[in-house]
Amino acid sequence: MTTLLATILDTPAGPLTVVLEPDGVVRVSGFGPFDETVQRLPAEARADGVRLLEPDELAAVGDGPADVVDAVRAYAAGHVGALDTVPVAQPGGPFQQELWRAMRAIPPGATVSYTALAAAAGRPAAVRAAGGACARNLVAPFVPCHRIVRTGGQIGGYYFGPGPKRALLAHEEAARGGTLESAAASA
């Protein structure tokens, strides 16, 4: 492993801490304090330390980190699909990885239920596993677990609380210029 890099960027849901590898692969991110965000990483991933940089300093490290900074800034400016292609890596079994891929396929400004997420990942009966994948997601909002809601459309849980989840959904809805839609039929 190598020393990880980190920065804190402004978003519509509040400050976003992003911890990434020098090549730009995001390993953990979130709307909590820096130290708490870093502690969510497995111990071996943070063994060589995490270096906190200002966003422009991080962008100067290389193309990968610059792309991450640019994507978060573009997302905050209303280009809500900007996070879709940022590379991420997080520990998890094959089905968790499939659930996280399915989350990334949900378009900004849309939501799906935990049931629809499980179906999109190929196991319609695995609703609890879908909820577990949301709870274990280390790279929100790059893997957009905020787009997962309860059946019936209720907001449901979010690791960082309902405020950031609502803020992200409202930001995406406003950027799409309409009402939040359910993507259940397409997921």
Q: What are the catalytic residues?
A: 145
Residues 155/166, Cβ–Cβ less than 8 Å: yes
Residues 26/18, Cβ–Cβ less than 8 Å: yes
Q: Which residues contact 4 (CB under 8 A, 6 or more apart)?
A: 19, 20, 21, 27, 41, 45, 46, 48, 49, 50, 51
| Of 185, 129, 184, 124, residue with least CA distance to 153 | 184
